Every structure is written in structure tokens, then in C-alpha cells.
Amino acid sequence: MNDMSDGYVTADGRQIGGVIMEMKNITLRFGGVVAIKDISFDIREGEIRAIIGPNGAGKSSMLNVISGFYIPTEGEVWFHGYKRGPMRPYQVARLGIARTFQNIALFDGMSVLDNIMTGRLTHMKSGLLAQAGWWWTGAAKEEDEHREKVEKIIDFLEIQNIRKTPVGRLPYGLKKRVELARALAAEPKLLLLDEPMAGMNVEEKEDMSRFILDVNDEFGTTIVLIEHDMGVVMDLSDRVVVMDYGKKIGDGTPDEVRNNQDVIDAYLGVAHD
Amino acid sequence: MPDIVLYAAEVTLNGLMAGVLYALVALGFVLIFKASGIFNYAQGVLALFAALTLVGIQKGQVPFAHLINAMTGKHYTNFPWEVPALVAILLTVGVMVVLAIIIEKVVLKHLVNQAPIILFMATIGMAYFLEGFGDVMWGSDIKTLDVGLPQGINETIDSVTYNMFGYGFFIDNLDIVAAIVAVLLVAALTVFSQYSKQGRALRAVADDHQAALSVGISLRFIWILVWSIAGFVALVAGIMWGSKSGVQFSLSLIALKALPVLMLGGFTSIPGAIVGGLIIGVGEKLFELLIGAPFLGGATENWFAYVLALVFLVFRPQGLFGEKIIERV
Ligand SMILES: Nc1ncnc2c1ncn2[C@@H]1O[C@H](COP(=O)(O)OP(=O)(O)OP(=O)(O)O)[C@@H](O)[C@H]1O
Ligand SMILES: [Mg+2]
């Protein structure tokens, strides 16, 4: 791919659009620790963009910058052609950017269904007064519409049989899936996944890979994916950013980064699970 | 029927009514604790402040009259009007919402991610400030609060029980009103938290802050909302207690009664606050009647609740309905 200004066509024939998010010279410090050092890269509409790198490379930090959980010490975040001011996570979420967490952040006390329903919050309109007049003002109808969307996602991710289960009781793999469901419920433009298959067995990983591809394919959702499993990354992603010690050491298609000497060096002798 | 059984029945009823009031105060604690993990030491003072404000507005008192007079040499005390009770209550609700916004902007906002003990200390500071502020704003004299709630013995219950048992029960009308209001309040809170957008967001924040942020919930908005609701609950408690025994500093001490209620019911459970309040209300009155007065020289109501709470702490530290305390690994 040479000129990418208007997007490109992937090997499997998907049309990738223009840049929707651009990170410009991002630096993030925690006291003396420099988690991200002057990194720039872009994310294009419709692509699956992976961020890889050894432990502690700064991948999660980067995702946290995108989602507003961390404010970068230096640098700019551009979204849809506009420079984004320092935003709080809830404001970023309302822009249509949803995420999952490396360590899973679910509402343990709620059922699977209720957890996924919270994903609809950014789309819920009815104010307090409208809700007081539940039936008269159409708040009930709105609730039904949200329920319908959530049920579709539940079917899509094949978790019908655990809809009413309190999330705290679920095994790890299913929790990851519910977290994805909640993020999808927001109908995001941009979906950020921090190690969605960490700690899963082969079968669960295959399921999750299929879901990620299907989300991208069916809803056209742009996805940023952090993952340690190289096989998964090479299979799923269109372009890959490689980080090491807070620096960007590679950026390109899976084939390009696989043959990049810096990347090979960074991974030599580094054990991964 | 033997007399003692009748007394006990009457005392139990009265205990239930008193318990409702304890539960109301405890409810304010639970709401804030659930949503933000803050043990709000100022909840009692919040009730006092709400009651003071209500009386002040209703009677047309000039706020900060002492201060203004001291500075200008005038002798303002009252505006030439009185405000109808319902309007005064609505205005007071408004004041409590403004107070919640100020608390969030001045205090909570700067203490995000601090240890619970720090937040607790902050609420102690808030309590003392608010107590003094209430004094300066409305004066420190004892005030009577009358929003037109019925008071005095309920004649119907008195005569019905007299006809049935030959002994008329003394139940105060105000207590009956308090019980009804408390039931309505809890029902409204439950519906709000289960079915409204804001209630859903509130439950989400109570469960996990990070996750709540990721689905687009503003923590600061939720905190303002929670403190407003807690302020409203405090107002309701303030009205009930204030109508009963006047508005004065001791009103803020009802918070001390809420503490054992919370230990019993659990800090995170709304039903727990209700049941805990009722158990303590009934327990302390029955204990006084059956054991305290005849054998222990009386006045056991002052300490019974705490002893009961201590016993509970030993055997069930999470309270009746609280979430089980499990260390995370
Ligand atoms: N909130 C924080 N406070 C202080 N240091 C932090 C914080 N978050 C991340 N760091 C530091 O930033 C560096 C990068 O961490 P980060 O979690 O982004 O790495 P990662 O690439 O996601 O690693 P892993 O593969 O283990 O998840 C680490 O040295 C980490 O200790
Ligand atoms: Mg990470």
C-alpha cells in the first residue's frame, strides 16, 4: 500500500476508510516513569489496528490515553479531524468510543443483562420527568428498544443461557465476553480491546477471534486491539503498532512488522504467555 | 389478656414507629456509602441543617440576620411574610441540591481516589462547618417546626383497642405519618434506582467506578445526585424529628442512633437500613419494658442499640443484609 490518504483495500478485500483518529507525539509520564515516549500513529475507519509489545511496553497506557482515562503529558489526540481537548473518560465514551479492560471491569453485583444494559446509557434519552410519566411519555417504549438491541447482542455473542446470571459468578472467559457485549451495546464507532483473550483456552480464543472479526465485518466498527498471542494478532489485524519500553519500534501490516529487525530484536529472549 | 402482653404490644408498635425514623437517617448513610464508599459523618448535621432551613424559610426569617445586623447596626429578624409549608419544603429541597453541588465542587472533587479514611475526615470537617454555618445562617435558638402534620394520640386506634382489650393503645399520629412517608420514600427510591436512567447509572457507580466511566457515566454528576438525594432524605428525617421534638442541635445526634442500625443492617443495604431500624426501635423499647425497667434501673434505651450492634459485630460483621466481606486475592 503506497498512497493511503483515502484508505486502502485489505488482502481479504475489505475497504478501509480515511483516518478517524490520530495520535500525535504522545508522551505520558508517571513521576519518573515514562510509559509512552513521543509516539505517533493513526487509526483508519473500519480497520483492526493492533498494538503489540512486551510486558510493560505501554500498550494499556496508550489505550487509556485514547479512552481518556489518562491525560497525555505531551502530544495531541485528533478525532474525526478535530483536536480533542483534555477529556474525561465519560466524555470520550459519549463520543462513541467504547472499551474493555485488561483486568475486566464489570458490575459484579448485576446480572449479565443489566451489565449489558448499562452499555446503552449513552443512548438513553428520557430525563427524570419523562421517566416519572413512564407510560405516558414513551419512556417505556424507549426502554423496550434498548432491550431489543441488547438481546441482539446477547444472541450475537451466544450468551443467551447466562442472561440472568450475576456476573460475579461467571468464569473468566465468559466475563470477558460479557465485557465485550457491554462495549458493543454502546454501538461504538471505535472499540478498544485490551487483551480480550488473555487467559483463555484455545477454543475460547477461537470464539473471541470470530466475534471480533464479525463485529468489524457486520457493524463496520473500527477496532484497536492489544494482544500478546502473535498468531491471533497476525490473523486478525490489518495494521500493527509495535511498542517497546514506551517507544514505537514498528508500524505496518503484519507481514511488514514480522520482518522488521527492531521488532525481532525486541521479542528475542522475551518470554510471553 | 394479661396486662404485660398488652403493654408489650403497644410498646412494640411504638418501637416500630421510632424505628422508622432511625431507618430514615440510616438510609441517608447507606445511599452515600454505596455510591461513593464514603461514610458520611455529616448525615445528622445535614438533617439539622435541612430542618433549620425549612423553619427559617417558612417563618420568613432573614438569613444571616445576626451577621447583617452586626455589620450594619440594623435589627432585621424577619421578612414581613410567611411561606406556606409545601412551598417552604420545595425551596428547602432546592437548598439541599445547591448544598450537594457545593460539597462536590469544594470538597469531593479534590479528593477523588483518596483513601476512605481521608474522605471520612473530610465529612467530619463538613459536619462541623455545616453546624456552625447553620447557626450563623438561622440562629442557634430552639425552633418549633410545624408543617401541618397531625400530632397527638390517634383516637381511632385508642378506641378500637380499648373496645377489644379494655386497654387503649397510645400511638402518636405523627409516628403513623412518619411510617407512611418512610414507606413511600423507600418505594420511590427503589423504583428510581431500578428503572430510571439515573438510577441505573447510580447502581453502576456503586458497583465499579472504572466500568461506570467506560460506559459514559460522569462520576461527579452521580455524586451530586447522591448527595442531593441524601440531603432530601435528611430533610424528611429532619421534618419528622423536628416536628416531634423541635429543631435544635440535638437533632444532629440522631445520626448516632443510625450507627448501630447500620451495623445491624449492613452499610450497603437499603432493606438492611429499614429492618435494622425497626429491630432497634422495637428492641430497645421492649428491652426497657421487660428487662431494663424492672431489673436494671431503667434508662437502657440509651445504650441498648450499641450493645446489640456490638453483639452483631462479633457474629456477623457484614450486618444482616450487607455484602459478605471477602478479601480479594
Ligand atoms: N497509573 C500508573 N501509575 C504509575 N505507573 C503506571 C501507571 N500505569 C502504567 N504505569 C507504568 O507504565 C508502564 C507501562 O505500563 P502498561 O500497563 O501500559 O504496559 P502494557 O504494555 O500494557 O503491559 P502488559 O502487557 O503487562 O499489560 C509500566 O512501567 C507501568 O508500571
Ligand atoms: Mg496492559
Give residue-wise pLDDT tens across range B188-210.
Answer: 888 888 888 898 899 899 889 89
pLDDT of the residue at B73: 85
Note the pLDDT tens digit of each residue in A216-262: 999 999 999 999 888 899 999 999 999 999 999 999 999 999 888 88
Residue B165 located in a structural domain: yes
Contact at CB, B214 and A107, closer than 8 angstroms: no
Contact at CB, A108 and B208, closer than 8 angstroms: yes
Q: Is the pLDDT of residue B327 over 60?
A: no
Decide if B242 contacts B251 (C-beta within 8 A). yes
For residues A272 and B127, the model is more confident at B127
- How much is the CA Rg of chain B, to the nearest whole Å? 21
Q: Is the pLDDT of residue A214 over 90?
A: yes
H or E element that contains A59: helix A59-66
Q: Which is it for strands A190-194 and A222-226: parallel, antiparallel or unpaired?
A: parallel
Question: How many Cβ atoms are within 10 Å of B91's Cβ, its own excluded?
Answer: 16
Disruptive mutation site among B93, B200, B213, B215 for chain A (greatest number of A CBs within 10 Å): B215
Q: Give chain A's length.
A: 273
Q: If we measure between CA atoms, which residue out of B191, B181, A36, B317 comes closest to residue B203?
A: B191
Helix ranges, B1-84 (H): 3-36, 43-59, 65-72
Among A58-62, A172-176, A204-208, B37-41, the range scoring the smallest mean pLDDT is: B37-41
- Any ligand 1 atom below 6 A from CB of A58: yes
The mean per-residue pLDDT over the stretch B82-90 comes to 94
- Any ligand 1 atom below 6 A from CB of A35: yes
How far is Cα A59 from Cα A195, in angstroms, rounded to an integer?
A: 10
- The chain B residue lying nearest A187, using CA atoms, is B215
Decide if B142 contacts B266 (C-beta within 8 A). no
pLDDT of the residue at B329: 45
| Partners of residue A121 in chain B, C-beta under 8 Å | 197, 200-201, 204, 215-217
The mean per-residue pLDDT over the stretch B147-161 comes to 89
Residue B34's alpha-carbon distances to A57, A77, B4, B117, B121, in angstroms, are 36, 35, 42, 15, 18
Q: How far is B161 from chain A (nearest CA, A)?
A: 40
Domain count of chain B?
1
Partner residues linked to A250 by β-bridges: A242
Q: If we measure between CA atoms, which residue out of B208, B298, B309 comes closest to residue B267?
A: B309
| Partners of residue A99 in chain B, C-beta under 8 Å | 214
pLDDT of the residue at A1: 43
Cell readout for A182 is: 457491554
The mean per-residue pLDDT over the stretch A17-35 comes to 95
- For ligand 1, atom 9, the nearest C-alpha belongs to A61
Q: Is the pLDDT of residue A34 over 50?
A: yes
Contact at CB, A88 and B200, closer than 8 angstroms: no
Q: If we measure between CA atoms, which residue out of B12, B155, B33, B141 comes closest to residue B77?
A: B141
* DSSP letter (8 states) at residue A14: P
- Any ligand 1 atom below 6 A from CB of A96: no
- For ligand 1, atom 25, the nearest C-alpha belongs to A55
Residue B292 located in a structural domain: yes
Q: If we measure between CA atoms, which residue out of B86, B88, B121 comes closest to residue B107?
A: B121
How far is Cα A38 from Cα B259, in angstroms, rounded to an integer?
A: 53
Cell readout for A77 is: 489526540
Note the pLDDT tens digit of each residue in B239-264: 998 998 899 888 888 778 888 998 88
Residue-wise over A116-134: b if at least 16 C-beta within 10 A, else e? bbbbbbbbbebeeebbeeb
Q: What is the DSSP string of B129-198?
A: HHHHHHHHHH-SS-B---SS---SB-HHHHHHHHHHHSS----BHHHHHHHHHHHHHHHHHHHHHHHSHH
How far is Cα B10 from Cα B154, in angstroms, rounded to an integer?
A: 13
How far is Cα A209 from Cα A45, in angstroms, rounded to an integer?
A: 19
How far is Cα B138 from Cα B136, in angstroms, rounded to an integer?
A: 6
Q: Is the pLDDT of residue B322 over 80?
A: no
Which percentage of chain A shows pLDDT scores above 70? 91
A30 in B contact zone (CB under 8 Å) = no
How far is Cα B305 from Cα A139, in angstroms, rounded to an integer?
A: 44
- Any ligand 1 atom below 6 A from CB of A241: no
Ligand nearest to the CA of A64: 1
CATH 3.40.50.300 in chain A: give the residue spans.
8-96+188-269
- The chain B residue lying nearest A127, using CA atoms, is B197
Domain range for B104 is 3-315
Q: What is the DSSP string of B208-269?
A: -HHHHHHTT--HHHHHHHHHHHHHHHHHHHHHHHHHHH-BSGGGGGHHHHHHHHHHHH-TT-
Residue-wise over B143-162: b if at least 16 C-beta within 10 A, else e? bebeeebeeeebeebeeebe
Partner residues linked to A74 by β-bridges: A27
Q: Is the pLDDT of residue A136 over 70?
A: no
- For ligand 1, atom 8, the nearest C-alpha belongs to A61
Q: What's the whole-number average pLDDT of chain A?
A: 90
How far is Cα B22 from Cα B29, in angstroms, rounded to an integer?
A: 11
H or E element that contains B276: helix B270-287
Residue B322 located in a structural domain: no
Cell readout for A81 is: 479531524
pLDDT of the residue at A127: 65
Which percentage of chain B shows pLDDT scores above 70? 97
* DSSP letter (8 states) at residue A158: T
Question: How many Cβ atoms are within 10 Å of B17's Cβ, its own excluded?
Answer: 23
H or E element that contains A190: strand A190-194
H or E element that contains B85: helix B85-106
User: Which of A108, A143, A186 lies closest to B215 in CB terms?
Assistant: A186
Contact at CB, A134 and B195, closer than 8 angstroms: yes
Helix ranges, A157-237 (H): 172-185, 202-219, 230-236
Q: If we measure between CA atoms, which residue out of A239, A267, A236, A235 comes closest to residue A252?
A: A239
Q: Is the pLDDT of residue A129 over 70?
A: no
How far is Cα B156 from Cα A270, in angstroms, rounded to an integer?
A: 83
Q: Evaluate if pTM is beyond 0.90.
A: no
Contact at CB, A131 and B195, closer than 8 angstroms: yes
pLDDT category of residue B1 using cuts at 50, 70 and 90: low
Cell readout for A176 is: 470477558
Alpha carbon of residue B193 to chain centroid: 19
Contact at CB, A118 and B204, closer than 8 angstroms: yes
Query: Residues near A11 by Cβ (< 8 Å), separated by ≥ 6?
Result: none
A119 in B contact zone (CB under 8 Å) = yes
Decide if B15 contacts B281 (C-beta within 8 A). yes
> Which atom number of ligand 1 is nearest to the Cα of residue A58?
18
A88 in B contact zone (CB under 8 Å) = yes
- Which CATH number goes with the domain that contains B133? 1.10.3470
Q: Is the pLDDT of residue A42 over 90?
A: yes
Report the CATH fold assignment for A8-96+188-269: Rossmann fold (3.40.50)
The mean per-residue pLDDT over the stretch A113-132 comes to 82
Contact at CB, B214 and A131, closer than 8 angstroms: no
How far is Cα A119 from Cα A170, in angstroms, rounded to an integer?
A: 19
How far is Cα B89 from Cα B67, in angstroms, rounded to an integer?
A: 25
Ligand 1, pocket-test mutation among A52, A55, A61, A195, most atoms within 8 A of CB: A61
- For ligand 1, atom 31, the nearest C-alpha belongs to A56
| Partners of residue A90 in chain B, C-beta under 8 Å | 213, 216-219
Contact at CB, A121 and B201, closer than 8 angstroms: yes
pLDDT of the residue at B270: 83
pLDDT of the residue at A5: 67
Which percentage of chain B shows pLDDT scores above 90? 40
Residue B258's alpha-carbon distances to A163, B128, B253, B255, B313, in angstroms, are 37, 18, 9, 5, 15
Q: Is the pLDDT of residue A106 over 70?
A: yes
Cα angle at B188 between B183 and B189, to 5 degrees?
A: 100
pLDDT category of residue A2 using cuts at 50, 70 and 90: very low
